[in-house]
Amino acid sequence: MALRTGAFVNVIQSAIPAVSEAIALLYSNHPLVESGGFADFHVSVRAATGVRRWLRRQVLFEFDGARPFKPLPFPQAFPMLEWGLNWCVSNHCNNLLVFHAAVIAHENRALILAAPPGYGKSTLCAALVNCGWRLLSDELTLIDPASGNVLPLARPVSLKNASIGVIRSFAPDAPLSRIVTDTVKGSVAHMRPPVGSVQRANEPAKPHWIVFPRFQSGAPTTLSPYAKARAFMQLADNAFNYNVHGKRGFETVADLVSSSGCYEFSYGNLNEAVSVFDTLAKSAP
């Protein structure tokens, strides 16, 4: 099966029912591509064979016959596919600047959410795309150095631990995959991207805001300006291939920071957070 996600075509093979089930649910809006064309990534997820499968069933991710990762426990087959597809992009697309950050858009103005795991970045991203923002990506922000544009991926949003319940009650209609427990990141579930985001997955957006969010339970909702030089360092530190681009990487990040409003955002309540971002969107010229 060949799935198109943004600019990429992924050929995915898996005989594992949990994987096909999750794909059917989460990628139901994604276009299928006829086989026989050019595909960016050929991947498979399959059960490991050998002695150890009798002790503990495991699952393997293969990229075109190579195995970049250690096997994982069998129930983690689908998260492994998602992580593997992220790796495909972040490890190969050196024609782009790839950041570990979520990115959403309002009228083609992109808002980049950069934060370490556990800071509530994916939760905020999931909430906002359920309130009219367009999902570009929840894990990988792709910047084309030639144009400075953000390229969409529109793949499922990964939710962890408490966020799963939070999004379930915040957006009860958003389809979520089955929860997989005991992964390296705890419990994981994926949310289907809104159909509108998938339909517009070939429309780039212009970077307009860079926000460093942080969830703290009970914290007041505050959005405050963040020093641009620090935003630069923070973003570059979150890039997979900033240094691969050398001087061009520096210029691209510098332009990105210069042309965007940079903010620190602290929140403890998701509804308040969403209204702050709506105000931000409306304030844009």
Partner 1 sequence: MARRNLVLIALTQPRATASWSASDWDTLVRQARRSNLLGHLAFRLEAANMLAGAPPGALAHLDAARILAQHQQQAVEREVAEIRQSLAATGVDIILLKGAAYAIAGLRAAKGRIFSDVDILVPKQALLEVESALMQHGWISTHHDPYDQRYYRRWMHELPPMRHIIRQTVIDVHHAILPETARLKPDSAKLRTAAVPLEGKKGLFVFSPADIVLHSATHLFHDGELEHGLRDLVDLDTLLREFAQQAGFWDMLVERAAELDLRRPLYYALRYTAHILGTPVPPQILQAAEAGKPVPVIDRLMDALFVRALCPDHSSVADRFTPIARRILYVRSHWLRMPPLLLVYHLTIKAFSSRSSED
Partner 2 sequence: MICWREWDGEIVVYYDLTGNTHLLNSLAGLVLRRLAESGAARSVAELTESIGPSVAIEPDIAQIEAVEAVLTDLERFGLAARGTA
Partner 3 sequence: MAMSEQQVPEQPSSTPSTDASSPQATSPEAGRRRLLQGGLAAGPVIFTLFSRPALGGGIGGECKTPSGFLSGNLSQHGTPTFCSGRTPGYWKQSQHFGDWVAPYFPTAVSGPGGHQATTFHSATTGFTGNQFGTQTMLQVLGTGGNTGGYTALGRHITAALLNARRGWTPVLSETGVRNIWNEYVSKGYFEPSAGIKWYPAQIVDYLVTTMPL
Report how far Cα 248 is from the mean position of its chain's Cα atoms. 24
CB closer to partner 2 out of 137 and 260? 260
Q: Map residues 54-73 to x or -, x wherever contact with partner 3 holds by CB under 8 A.
A: ---------xx-xxxxx-x-
- Cα–Cα distance for residue pair 209/225, rounded to 1 Å: 11
Q: Map residues 119-148 to x or -, x wherever contact with partner 1 holds by CB under 8 A.
A: ------------------------------
Q: Which two tokens stand for residue 30?
A: 């994604």
Q: Which two tokens stand for residue 267?
A: 């929140």
CA angle 37, 40, 45 (to 5 degrees): 105
**Residues 198 to 237 in contact with partner 2, rule: CB under 8 A:** 227-230, 232-233, 236
* Residue 221 makes contact with partner 3 by CB under 8 A: no
Which listed option, partner 3, partner 1, partner 2, none, makes contact with residue 117 (CB within 5 to 8 Å by class)? partner 3
**Residues 5 to 64 in contact with partner 1, rule: CB under 8 A:** 7, 9, 36-40, 42, 64
Q: Map residues 183-212 to x or -, x wherever contact with partner 3 holds by CB under 8 A.
A: -xxx-------------------------x
CB closer to partner 1 out of 144 and 278? 144
* Residue 4 makes contact with partner 1 by CB under 8 A: no
Closest Cα to residue 115, out of 4, 206, 216, 218?
Answer: 216
Pairing between strand 206-215 and 109-113? parallel
Closest Cα to residue 205, out of 75, 83, 106, 86?
Answer: 106
For partner 3, the binding residue among 11, 25, 131, 162 (CB under 8 A) is 162
Stated as kind and residue range, the H or E segment containing 186 is strand 186-191
Q: Report yes or no: 33 and 63 within 8 Å, Cβ to Cβ.
A: no
Candidate segments 80-88, 103-111, 220-228, 237-245, binder of partner 1 by CB under 8 A: 237-245
